[in-house]
Amino acid sequence: MQLCRRSSPILLLGSFLVFPIFLCAQTAPLREIHADGLKTLTEAQVAELSGLTFGKEVGREDLQIGSDALVRTGLFAHVSYNFVTRNDGVLLTFHLQENRRLPVSYDNFPWYSDTELNEAIRKDLPFFDGTLPEAGAVVDVAAKSLTNFLASKGVSSQVEHLVLASPLADDSIQQFRAEGLAPRIASVDFSDPDIKQSPAVKQHLSELIGKSYSRLAIDVFLAEQIRPIYFERGYLHAKIGPAEVRLSGNPNQKLPEEIPIYIPCDPGAVYRWKEATWSGNNALSTITLTKTLNLKSGDIANGMAFEAGLDRIREEYGHLGYLDAKVEPTATYDDAAHAVSYATSIAENTQYRYGTLTITGLSNTGERLVREAWAQQPGEVFDKTLFEELLTKLEHHHQAVFREVPVHYDTVGHYLQTDPSRKIVDVLLDFK
């Protein structure tokens, strides 16, 4: 093996660390490509994505171009490489850190199954497994693949992509949406007869029926209207969706504009409340936390009541100036007894005191009245409850603040500017 020497310092090119090992000749045949740090991809896939060709003469510039190509894919958070030369050519090794990938969601392609759409992408991206990075060339390729797929079906539409928060999971999705397509939701049916007959569900079905088909809109409906019903009744492991499109008729005919939706729902078992334990709390006692949560052992585990109880606890911390308090529960399920307990970790963090109030967009008289309505004095422990009460008055009961003075505004921008080093919070109000 030959290693070429170089007396100049290590070069840092962009985000790629190039080790002080260089081709002795101007070019040499590329014999091997290796990669470490891989989790989902293979070395062969990395080689293909780099655009480098085995057996082709390469120089330092070619290797840098291949490294740049890997970065542009969006699949990698970090790319570096080194190489050595032997008598018969170049051995290249990429050092990689893969980016996190997001689940793919096809928003308004109701005529085609996820399997068909996945295969359309996989023709151009063989490694595609239903997930993609947040951005990069591979995401653009996937969008183009879907555009071409629709064109092959006689549908002229440009497919765009966007990263969005998932309504049904604590994660984001990579959404693909076809511009200009607006099939309508004709009906919504549920497998669970209790949900199907629920007056609350029937009341909200108009949010979907007759509207443009959108998988995102359907998932939002499931998260906001269906899941709370199950959680209130103690069905904490209820399986809801995904929604299914059930079309009938000749698939070779014109695509139907009216889309029937079927939503499988399995409530599972009813869980009962066992206990709550707390850690990390100092400002609020365990007795106070348990009382504020207000759930009794043996009661049906109302998931919505539990979340509301945690919100009350966060409000109590805000009342005491702990604006950065984190309240994070971890559930433990006893599936044999159908019981649930929660171990809740609390990080109280900084207790803030009130600093200053900055007001913009009001006359001198209006500003004076707002300051009179603000109950806190500099140096006092900040009470977020008082801040929220003032906002409520300004937005819905402005006469309680301005009395007979004519003050006109449409919105009140508000911001709490915290300074943890000084343990001070300043209040900013912007009237527009």
Rounded to whole angstroms, how far apart are CA atoms 87 and 413? 69
pLDDT at 20: 39
pLDDT reported for residue 3: 37
| Domain boundaries, given as residue ranges, for the chain | 11-98, 101-181, 272-347, 353-431
Q: Do 101-181 and 353-431 show the same overall fold?
A: yes
Q: Which CATH number fits domain 11-98: 3.40.50.300, 1.20.120.1150, 3.30.950.10, 3.10.20.310?
A: 3.10.20.310
**Euclidean distance between CA atoms 198 and 239, whole angstroms:** 17
The SS3 of residue 118 is: helix
Cβ pair 303, 227 in contact under 8 A = no
Query: What was the pLDDT predicted at 5?
Result: 34
CA distance 184 to 208: 9
Q: What is the pLDDT of residue 27?
A: 85
111 φ/ψ angles, rounded to the nearest 5 degrees: -80, -10
Secondary structure of residue 178 in the 3-state scheme:
strand
Q: Which amino acid is at 406?
A: P
275 closest CA partner among 249, 262, 293:
293
- Architecture per CATH, 272-347: Roll (3.10)
Distance CA 115, CA 111 (A): 12
- Alpha-carbon distance of 176 to 120, in angstroms, equals 13
pLDDT of residue 205: 94
Supply the CATH classification number for the domain 353-431.
3.10.20.310
Long-range contacts of 63-69 (CB under 8 A, 24+ apart): 63/90, 63/92, 64/13, 64/16, 64/18, 66/92, 67/16, 67/94, 68/14, 68/16
Enter the DSSP assignment of 234.
T
Closest C-alpha to 82, from 103, 104, 112, 60: 60
**Sign of the torsion formed by the C-alpha atoms of 122, 127, 132 and 135:** negative
**According to DSSP H, which parts of 205-276 are helical?**
215-221, 227-232
- Taking 50 as the pLDDT cut, the residues of the chain under it are 1-25
Q: Is 386 helix (H, G, I), strand (E, B) or coil?
A: helix
Q: What angle do CA 378, 382, 384 make, to 5 degrees?
A: 135
User: Cis peptide leading into 167, omega within 30 of 0?
Assistant: no
HSE-up (13 A, CA, CB side) for residue 241: 19
3-state SS class at 179: coil
pLDDT for res 249: 61
Distance CA 52, CA 62 (A): 8
When the candidates are 3.40.50.720, 1.10.150.120, 3.30.70.3270, 3.10.20.310, the CATH number that belongs to 101-181 is: 3.10.20.310
Complete DSSP assignment for 299-332 = SB--HHHHHHHHHHHHHHHHHTT-TT-EEEEEEE
| pLDDT for 252 | 62
